[in-house]
Amino acid sequence: MKYEYYYNTVPGQGQVRNNLVYTSLISEDKKTFVQWYHNDTEYHQGKNEIIDPELMQDKWNREVEYLTLMYENYNDMVPEIRDIDIKEKKIYLNIDGVDFWQQHFDRQCRYEDVLSDWLEQMLAILEAHNNLGFYKYSLHPSSYFVVDGRLKSINYFFCHSDNEAQLPLEHFRSHISRDRQEKLEVFMSYNDINWNSVLPYKTLQTICLESFRSNYPAGFIDRAKMIYA
């Protein structure tokens, strides 16, 4: 099977990277998505956020740990795992077309026109994370696929749990997009937080959700925050 780089095409921006951490690949028939934890300069167009091999290894470890945790406990909420290639650091996922976010651009429609109950399904996924005792900060709408009417969550490299040591926000900065950083900084400034601040992971989840207000309806963000209240 042949694979090609997978990008998102965004109105007003054109082709953009689907992910800032790993290299995104998709099969020609768009039935398989590959998360390749390799710092591919061609894919990232010289804008690689993670160049530290140890940090990339940490992201790979988290992806495998939390994706498989979800697959074992809520396998209807994540794509079917076809294979995890430990040596090549590739995860093969069964999908059905481009991601949720891209679909709404391609069809020039609202999220609910792509999937009528997307909001309830996404909230249920966040509830599942909370039930399993971890926080997921990679919440962009491109972090979901739709398969057989079910929302499938991906990108578990940016997850943490309360049994880990808390870290300053600066530790996460390298793998947060510049656009997302700007949104975060507005909220941080208003709440007297800076990149050297060390905050509980639950608090970071709330801050993270706030940074996605421009990507989702306000009602969704408000309901999502209640899960962690």
In tens, the pLDDT along 182-220 reads 888 888 888 898 999 999 999 999 988 988 999 999 899
What pLDDT is attached to residue 196?
92
What's the predicted TM-score (pTM) here?
0.94
Average pLDDT over residues 104-130: 98
Residue 226 has pLDDT above 80, yes or no: yes
Distance CA 201, CA 158 (A): 12
Short-list 54, 1, 49, CA closest to 23: 49
Contacts of 76 (CB under 8 A, 6+ apart): 150
What pLDDT is attached to residue 35?
98
Report the mean per-residue pLDDT for the chain: 93
Residue 176 has pLDDT above 80, yes or no: no
Per-residue confidence at 39, pLDDT binned at 50, 70, 90?
confident
Segment holding 220, helix H or strand E: helix 218-227
Q: What is the pLDDT of residues 45-85, one digit of tens each?
A: 877 666 678 989 999 999 999 999 999 999 999 999 999 99
What pLDDT is attached to residue 7?
97
Q: Which has more pLDDT, 229 or 101?
A: 101
What pLDDT is attached to residue 219?
93
User: By the 8 A CB rule, do 79 and 152 touch?
Assistant: yes
Per-residue confidence at 24, pLDDT binned at 50, 70, 90?
very high
